[in-house]
Structure 1
Amino acid sequence: MFDEIGRIARDVAHAGGWLPPWAVSLLALTAAVALALLVHRLLFRAMSRLVRDQDLFWRSLVARTSGPVRLGVITFALSIASELAPLSAGERSVLRHILLVGFIGLLGWGTLTALHIWTTIYLRRFKLDSQDNLLARKHVTQTRILRRVAGTLIITITVGAAMMTFSGVRQYGVSLLASAGAAGLVAGLALQPLLKNIFAGIQLAMTQPIRLDDAVIVEGEWGNVEEITSTYVVVRLWDLRRMVLPLTYFLEKPFQNWTRDSSALIGAVMIYLDYSVPVEEMRAKLEEVATSSPNWDGKVVALQVTDFRDSVMEVRMLISASDASRAFNLRCEVRETMIAWLQAEHPYALPRRRAEIAGLPRKAFWQGEREHERQAAE
């Protein structure tokens, strides 16, 4: 087909003599690009119809590969048309250079697309919305961080390879490497933040002190890890605010990770009551509350008297849940239910300040009160 386009253009130019060579070349290159776009459009429509009834993965796969395929088809068409068009040696050299840069860009773009497809296929086996999602969070976090690092390296290599095709840039790069010394030191200092974050991302992916959806306490705030990029981490706080922290924060500063080894948590509820509270009845009521709650995972429920103070005693209630949000809701539920039960059934057990006079007859007590009132009136 490209041979036909070139033959027709040459026949028209030689037969009529009214088209200059540059116009014939422009016509051939334009026809090649138009034909390439037409072929891509027909191919893309056919593939879209083929995966129309498939799941979201196949539809997104076709959509994501549309751009690289279009660039590849245009590059291939222009490479054939450049051999058929009546170009001068200089014009042919410039066009080949442009095609070489386009081919390098196509390789980089195709590699990024293949990397995205591979990670998507790999992560399809893991579900973050499952109840026990520790393994899924581990693999998703590791894969996403490594994908961003690999993507940065691919883009850097692609841009570097494209720039090295230009003689001026190539000579500058050789002279820069030869000088090493001060230029290398300046470049190293300039790239220090970027390199620091890249290595921090690799270390986070390997050691995984945090993972996606981990419940953490950072800077005195409680939240969940929402996003991990190649340079920063986004923590979604309990009130829907977002805290953005650099990657190096989680390698250099202490923080709490409530779901490091397991998403299950034990929640503690502290309450201060009078010494007269019936502990056994309270323990039975706590077990009843936990059993009837959908947030309890059926593992831990306990009530203990953990401290004595001047006028109250400290009672600690422990209940477990499958994740941090359920543990928080269960703790609130235990507080509300237990205080309502104490108010209704055992109000005397609530904290109160009191004074007791023991050993004084009732009659003498009231006589003392009247005498005190009479003196106060005088």
Structure 2
Amino acid sequence: MQRTDAVLIEATRLMHWFPGWAQSIALVLGCFAVVLPLHQIAYRFLTRAFQGRSLFWRSLVGRTQGPTRLGLIIVAVGAASAIAPVSREVRVLVNHTLLVGLVALAGWCCSIAIHISTVIYLRRFKLDAEDNLLARKHFTQMRILERAAVTLVALVTLAICLMTFEPVRQYGVSLLASAGAAGLILGLAMQPVLSNLVAGIQIAITQPIKIEDAVIVENEWGWVEEINSTYVVVRLWDWRRLVVPLTYFIQKPFQNWTREGSSLIGSVFLYVDHTTPIAAMRTKLAEIAAQSSLWDRKVVNLQVSDMRENVIEVRMLVSARNASQAWDLRCEVREKMVGFLQTELPGALPRLRTEWLRTERDPAPRSDVRALAS
């Protein structure tokens, strides 16, 4: 016992030979040396303990390995600061910084838990399925709600961190209590952001658009690729990206081709001569559709939709499983029907007719005109 006391006394005497900053660094390094192995052992224990639990808990343990390690280091450094030979001002500053770090880590863990819950919920739905209406509906709702929840967590975390600073807390309280010109200016400045956030919640509930919807926006046709917190990314047919604010889809009209289902009816218009046999064209259209892998075997129809002075308008309708296949099927029908008219019914192509009538007052044709006519 006396030998142990002597060792402690000697170690205390040696510590006095080192300056305060060196002792503090040694304590921090000692915290790292102790906490990291302990965290590794605890992480292995938790991994085995949650092995038979649900996928959410197993994923949460796996994804929060880094934040929990930082959290243990912060706690250990906070405990070391209590015995470190530093001034009171330095100790208060270190403890305040560690508190802000713990709050940020808590918000980080909440965001990870929200993301894991969203991914697990969406695993039951497949966007690459042929009929993916239900999947697109749930993907849209969960992605928007996830971003809204993460934004809310970030705002709450930031608010708690700022409330730990005395000057900022007093300023915030006075600003909220005054509700004067400063509050009005702040509200006007935040109006675009808040309106887009509210529009995002409205889109998640009412769903005028969904992920991978085929839409026409600003006379551009494409697919909804992303729905973010404040804007929507539309992937156009030529691989360009059209970025539109969320409020656009609440305040302005647009076309949604796949809101209730992915199947679409495509129309093809041709202009042919009045003498064209419509029955032969109708038979050929049914043959073209039956031979195409793009047709969904639902709608095929041909009608004379209009008649003009020199031509008649023929409208052909064919259905497909989605917007992309409907476009390709329309091009295929148009190409093959024009080829059919060129080879089988050349007289059906549009023509201009001119009739010459000779009266008694007209002079007899001259010899050179007769030669040209012959």
TM-score range, shorter chain: 0.7 to 0.9
2:350, 2:170 → 1: CA distance?
Answer: 83
**Aligned to 2:306, what secondary structure does the other structure show?**
strand
Specify the alignment match of 1:231 in structure 2. Answer: 230
Residue 66 (structure 1) shift: 4.0
Q: Indicate conservation of the 8 Å contact 1:13/1:21, yes or no.
A: no
* 1:79 is the counterpart of 2:112: no
Matches within 5 A, 1:146-185: 146-185=145-184
Specify the alignment match of 2:51 in structure 1. Answer: none
Specify the alignment match of 1:133 in structure 2. Answer: 132
Q: Indicate conservation of the 8 Å contact 2:60/2:112, yes or no.
A: no
Specify the alignment match of 1:373 in structure 2. Answer: 369
Specify the alignment match of 2:122 in structure 1. Answer: 123
1:35, 1:359 → 2: CA distance?
Answer: 115
Matches within 5 A, 1:328-343: 328-343=327-342
Specify the alignment match of 1:306 in structure 2. Answer: 305
Call closer, same or farther: CA 1:330–1:59 in 2, change over 3 Å. Answer: farther
Residue 133 (structure 1) shift: 0.8
Call closer, same or farther: CA 1:15–1:174 in 2, change over 3 Å. Answer: same
Residue 184 (structure 1) shift: 1.4
Mark the runs of 5 or more structure 1 residues left unpaired by the alignment: 1-7, 49-56, 361-366
Alignment deviations for residues 108-165 of structure 1 (CA, whole Å, 9 cap, x no partner)? 1111111111111111111111111111111111111111122111111111100110
**Aligned to 1:353, what secondary structure does the other structure show?**
coil
* 1:219 is the counterpart of 2:235: no
* 1:65 is the counterpart of 2:61: no
Q: TM-score, normalised by structure 1?
A: 0.84
**Aligned to 1:260, what secondary structure does the other structure show?**
coil
Call closer, same or farther: CA 1:10–1:63 in 2, change over 3 Å. Answer: farther
Q: TM-score, normalised by structure 2?
A: 0.85
Q: Which moved more, 1:12-21 or 1:167-176?
A: 12-21
Mark the runs of 5 or more structure 2 residues left unpaired by the alignment: 1-6, 48-55
Call closer, same or farther: CA 1:18–1:335 in 2, change over 3 Å. Answer: same
**Aligned to 1:234, what secondary structure does the other structure show?**
strand
Alignment deviations for residues 253-275 of structure 1 (CA, whole Å, 9 cap, x no partner)? 11111111111100000001112
Call closer, same or farther: CA 1:268–1:46 in 2, change over 3 Å. Answer: farther
Q: Which moved more, 1:297-306 or 1:66-75?
A: 66-75
Letter in 2 for 1:199: V
2:267, 2:8 → 1: CA distance?
Answer: 84
**Aligned to 2:310, what secondary structure does the other structure show?**
coil
Call closer, same or farther: CA 1:374–1:347 in 2, change over 3 Å. Answer: closer
Specify the alignment match of 1:201 in structure 2. Answer: 200
Q: Which moved more, 1:74-83 or 1:108-117?
A: 74-83
Alpha carbon RMSD of aligned pairs, Å? 3.3
Q: Indicate conservation of the 8 Å contact 1:13/1:24, yes or no.
A: no
Residue 286 (structure 1) shift: 0.9
Identity %, equivalent residues:
56
Q: Indicate conservation of the 8 Å contact 1:29/1:85, yes or no.
A: no
Call closer, same or farther: CA 1:37–1:263 in 2, change over 3 Å. Answer: same
Call closer, same or farther: CA 1:100–1:316 in 2, change over 3 Å. Answer: same
1:177, 1:58 → 2: CA distance?
Answer: 40
Alignment deviations for residues 46-75 of structure 1 (CA, whole Å, 9 cap, x no partner)? 999xxxxxxxx9999777434323322322
Residue 103 (structure 1) shift: 1.2
Letter in 2 for 1:226: E
Call closer, same or farther: CA 1:344–1:177 in 2, change over 3 Å. Answer: same
